Structure 1
């Protein structure tokens, strides 16, 4: 009688439940199918055959999620009716899993967004807590076969146990390989005495016994991966490896059954051992690179802490401790959860929830990390220290990013797609040829071809090169969002620089005042108005003015590209451009100026004489021969003559540029086919940073965290920018060389394999050796490149 398998999960059916002309193993699987069917999501089953998992019985298992204190520890974000949580989902394993989990909003009312991080098997869900509790959410996920793993010992969800299975498999394969080699010695040395008659059969069946755990345990990952790929009509790189192992095992078993020979159990166990050893080495190396990326490539974000004596100091976000009183200026990101103490808070949580509408908060309300203050300055008390992984998650969140081209990775994927097909064609053709000459050689040729031409080295060259360079850049204070940015840096042919706060130093401006002397009350209000702003000119002017008592303006508004205004005790203050403050008699100045008006009466202006960053002239001189260079400034032409003396003659300079003008300028260059890098201060340049192929935000001691940018460059490393770009180009060359080496290795290996001169055991040694050599080559080359930065 033919066994039935469940339409949803694929398990063998013991007691059949029929519905909609389909068979299910239990009511749970039938219910999941009904849910998908009612919501028009049955195409889930077209992506793979039986992709789901049978729902577990969960009576009472998640009752602890009714406890608000426990739920609060697990949530990333909890503001009224909007909650965000990241859950570790062990069952995520294929494209259909990703598809259904990212369509949860169609399945369950209350879920507004869901995003899968496939490598980490984590699911980030935003939901309405008035319509759906966390317990209901977890039970729903479990009911459709995606039960999350929740540990109360560690509320940082998604942190997986160290996977030791590869170590166990390596141990099993190594133990079996050693014993099979030992048992093979008599036939290696052609011992034809009493052994041949009395112990030959025993030794051969012992070798068979040692091969069983190797094939069915140590090599199972290759079979599972190949099966899933074939089921999805994809020939992945594990298909030839699984075929090689299977052919060796079947042929060797037949040989000892019919006494044709001793088989290839030595080659078989050696093959799996060396493949597993190569995979173990690859995993250890990549884990090292990932560790460096997660914990050392931190953001150079600063924050202002208010000491008990009322003095302000700039500190790194990682120095924030529970109980610290911190100042959040207009447009600054809130780096930690805390309680609002003072000021009018309007928080934009779009980085966290995707909702752009700002939420108003009052003194005593809780504020969550990831929100951006958009209405002046506030003071808050930190409830905990900063979470680096949380900042990384916000910065890397694809929901808020424009997808940028990653052509090199696409090229690798394109090659890999056809590689296996060509490899199988060569293997079967060579085997068919040798079958007419020698059957034993034919089986050796088939296996050796499948093993020696594995494209592992090709697949590893890109992630290891770029991963190591990410780590090196991070150590040099250049922090990239992801590895794809390196490719874009290498392809760029145009660099655009903002002026104020980018090529000029915020800390070295000479400022003079021209106009009516301000009263102490006006200067007091001016100081506190500037205190709420993050603009480089505001910060410079704020530092120059005398100390006054700290107060929060009752009203505050900052208009990008124009200026800021505030009201305190019915006294109004405007700071910004002459037009913004309402001046018609301000006159003209060739230098950068900040104009002041109090109660709509023009007072005067502060004139800035910019100090340029050290190394600016050398930086532009290095870049000029290879790149089209531009300066975009929101200021007037006051600095044009000085810039003309300082910078190469080919540098294009545009002044009086509003934020939208900068964006339009980059768009016009891209229409001409230019690949652009925009370097700005991360404030007024957000649109331009997002529009360009690579947006680099320069950071000094202010919180310029911006998902609009692709990289953050510490101001102290500004003059090294040409070296970073050059290093990116060299890295892409290293990848190309490693690809050529990989192809050469495959071509040479295939020649010896097809001609019958390469045994499977030698192929099994050479295959992981080639991968390890590629890793070593890329690591050494990138380290050499890094030393030259």
Structure 2
């Protein structure tokens, strides 16, 4: 805790205050006392004066508008009796203290359950308990501790932080001062310091000193801040050598001018800052241009059914508007918040909340994006645009652990690289201190500048980022960069059959049994249309779907069958075991009407175009796990090869067990399914890819989503992922070669600091261009031109 002794800086925010006072204003005192009351004064140990000034008090009813239901509904992303989810943009997030305090918000407001902070976006995702606190109270609590959210209902759908213009001002100052210092230094460059008028030489030197001050104290601030933050946390980041080079050059130059020993090296010092800032700006621009922060359209290549004039029209997600009526089938994901207007809803929100218990919804209630329908078809009236960022955040929720594993060696490299650079600089100083002291400064300064792991660190992230873009152009959407390496390391591939190797839309069904009445046929079609399983859709296509027939008490036993009431008829569709029928040959969907066996539909599947060639091109051991009959076994044996393991009549738990057994044998398993009966197997496999075909059957268990028509390109996709690893290795080799070459000349004192300052950002940009060019070349060679550009 702070003592009551007289200070000139506020104990909370560090701003000047009256002598003898501990706080600059009542607001800062209130925040300090609030943190002290809840045992959160460790906040002040993380950074010196981490608080935000509270001189402008929040007026009493400023956030009363958050109690208005229409406004509240627009802000909230999910709500039930147990928890409410909302994301705020908080401009005042600026350091590790902010993260610590926000993530401990539950100690200030007991109703807050969890806070997750995205530091780069300055966003905080808050989960609170509705019975213990309110949206207004949460916002008021945030404002009271100096983190008032920026709430603009007009910008709610496209909420972006303001552009940081400071770095451009710093770059402009550095460029102006560097150009003028170079101009004032020309006389000495061409005539030498002993051939100029002494008075003019002295004037030019002091002008250069004056011009260097804004660069040293203002333009170089990003490097000071980054290096200092790293040192405070015991981490030598890549900005430490740069800061040392700036300091050494500036101090040496000032000393030379003040003692009359020479003109100094202000041109080199300002050039270092200018070219480092230029490289950083260009790097950031290029990094953002590669769209690593992809929106939902990069993850969910799905269409949703919009009902218009009793017509069911498939519409791409970006085209869904507020007020559209969406038809959500059984097991489909809800893509946008909406009000239930038809049917019954039993929603699985485990993707959103982690709770596995489904939630029943009645007519007129809100259903939130991210839920999965478990009780037949329903229709919702959308009240928000498709929840882009929210669905993306849910999809990426499990990504962080993989990223840490992936990036750990990169951080280790960066940390050790700085120590190596400092060690080389120290050895060089000792060597030239013994043999030629005049070479100490140019050699050491050049080493500190030229030897930087920026290019090394960029190689992997840019290569993987661009590979993700190439794959997405060809309708394979991977969750993250880790999935690229996982896919490249595949040694065994497991396929589902129905809906994966066979096309859903091309399945045909023929009836074998007693004659069906018109009502029975329509009832069978109505119940079958509730499911997205290919067999059910084939049956519904034959029987037709009445527009106004409501299906009640619909249930589906995954991998077995489904049942429900259509009018006065109870319909059961499914396997022989599910309906109590006798097992037959071929793919059959057996039918019970009001408990009596009526017959079966015999399905004839059409395999997807190019599947035969694709299977023959895969140089891996293959397995087929199908819940279907083994009638196609001879054909599949011919397509997949004599060594393939074909397993039929597989239940979901059997598919999962087989994946586990393959992994126990040390195999890297790629599982490809349609996401309906394969969720467990997809999640267990090293890489799980879910196919999608004109339906909203995206499964959160998968590592990637592939448009079904692109399955024929699977061998090329895997080869591209392997090529991506080779591109990274090539980029690493080029980066290491650059550093070794630069150090070779730097330790000899043959590389000027100014030249080193130009070469360092140039190397980073060249690595970006190299990785982009090689990745693009590999993509064009393996996948050809993109004939279906992304919308």
Q: What is the Cα deviation at residue 727 of structure 1?
A: 0.5
* Cα drift, residue 347 of structure 1: 2.2
1:680 touches 1:697 (CA, 8 Å); kept in 2? yes
Q: Give the match for residue 709 of structure 2.
A: 716
The change in CA–CA distance for 1:572 and 1:465 in structure 2 (over 3 A counts) is same
Query: Which whole-Å CA distance do the structure 2 matches of 1:7 and 1:425 have between them?
Result: 40
Range with greater deviation from structure 2 (668-677 or 758-767): 668-677
Paired residue for 1:744?
737
Q: Find the residue that maps to 2:155 and give its secondary structure.
A: coil
**Of 566, 574, 577, which residue of structure 2 is paired with 1:576?**
574
Offset, 1:570 = 4.4
Mapped partners of 1:407, 1:229: distance in 2 = 21
* Residue number among 690, 694, 717 corresponding to 2:683 in the alignment: 690
TM-score by length of 1: 0.92
- 1:296–1:474 Cα contact (<8 Å) kept: no
Tell me how far 1:99 sits from its aligned partner.
Answer: 4.6
CA distance in 1, matches of 2:545, 2:130: 46
- Asked if the contact 2:460/2:728 (under 8 Å) is kept, the reply is yes
Q: Is the 8 A contact 2:6 2:21 kept in 1?
A: no
Helix, strand or coil: the match of 1:656? coil
Q: What SS does structure 2 have at the residue aligned with 1:293?
A: coil
Task: Encode CA deviations 1:74-129: one digit per residue, 9 max, x unaligned.
Answer: 22234567432111233444555445434444553222232222332211112223
Give the stretch that moved more between structures: 156-165 or 669-678: 156-165
Describe how 1:357-376 pairs up with structure 2 within 5 A: 357-376=357-376
Answer yes or no: is the 8 Å Cα contact 1:74–1:156 preserved in 2.
no
Instruction: Find the aligned partners of 2:97 and 2:621 in 1 and give their Cα distance.
Output: 45
Counterparts of 2:613 and 2:388 in 1: how far apart (Å)? Answer: 35
1:415 is aligned to: 413
Aligned-partner Cα distance in 2 for 1:2–1:439: 49
Give the C-alpha shift of residue 580 in structure 1.
1.3
**Between 318-327 and 75-84, the greater mean CA deviation after superposition:** 75-84
Deviation at 1:405, TM superposition (A): 7.2
Q: Over residues 441-478 of structure 1, what are the superposed CA-to-partner deviations in whole Å (9 max), with x where a residue is unaligned?
A: 21222211110001111111111111111111111111
How far apart, CA to CA, are the structure 2 residues paired with 1:511 and 1:192? Answer: 95
Deviation at 1:564, TM superposition (A): 0.9
Which runs of structure 2 are paired with 1:130-279 in the superposition (5 Å)? 130-156=131-157, 158-190=159-191, 195-279=196-280
CA RMSD of aligned residues (A): 2.7
Change beyond 3 A, Cα 1:417–1:55: farther
Q: 1:495 is paired with a residue of what secondary structure?
A: strand
Deviation at 1:221, TM superposition (A): 0.7
Against the structure 1 CA distance between its residues 356 and 48, is the aligned structure 2 distance closer, same or farther, given a 3 Å change threshold?
farther
Alignment partner of 2:599: what SS? strand
Aligned to 1:337: 337
Q: Which of 542, 545, 562 is 1:544 aligned to?
A: 542
The aligned runs of 1:336-735 (5 Å cut-off) are 336-398=336-398, 403-404=401-402, 407-583=405-581, 586-589=582-585, 591-623=586-618, 625=619, 627-735=620-728
The residue that corresponds to 1:59 in the other structure is: 58
Report the alpha carbon displacement of residue 176 of structure 1 after superposing the two structures with TM.
1.2
CA contact (8 A) 2:58 2:143 kept: no
Decide whether the 8 Å contact of 1:576 with 1:595 is kept in 2: yes
3-state secondary structure, aligned to 2:290? helix
Distance 1:79 1:455, change over 3 A: same
Q: CA deviation at 1:15?
A: 6.1
- Give the count of matched residue pairs: 774
Structure 1 window deviating more from structure 2 (776-785 vs 480-489): it is: 480-489
Mapped partners of 1:374, 1:55: distance in 2: 50
- CA 1:468–1:657 in 2, change beyond 3 Å: closer, same or farther? same
Alignment partners' CA distance in 2, 1:237 and 1:525: 69
Tell me the TM-score normalised to structure 2 length. 0.92
Check 1:54–1:402 CA distance in 2 against 1; reply closer, same or farther (3 A cut). Answer: closer
Distance 1:148 1:548, change over 3 A: closer
In structure 2, relative to structure 1, the CA distance for the partners of 1:461 and 1:174 (3 Å cut) is same
Q: 1:477 to 1:607 in 2, by over 3 A?
A: same
Give 5+ residue unaligned stretches, structure 2. Answer: 784-791
- The 8 Å contact of residues 452 and 750 in structure 1, kept in 2 or not, is answered as yes
Cα displacement string for residues 229-271 of structure 1 (whole angstroms, at most 9, x for unaligned residues):
1111111111111111111111111111111111111001111
Q: Distance in 2 between matches of 1:68 and 1:348?
A: 25
Deviation at 1:544, TM superposition (A): 2.3
Would the aligned equivalents of 1:680 and 1:698 in 2 still touch at CA under 8 Å? yes
CA distance in 1 between partners of 2:469 and 2:293 (Å): 6
Contact 2:525 2:542 (C-alpha < 8 Å) held by counterparts:
no
- Alpha-carbon separation, structure 1, partners of 2:659 and 2:645: 13
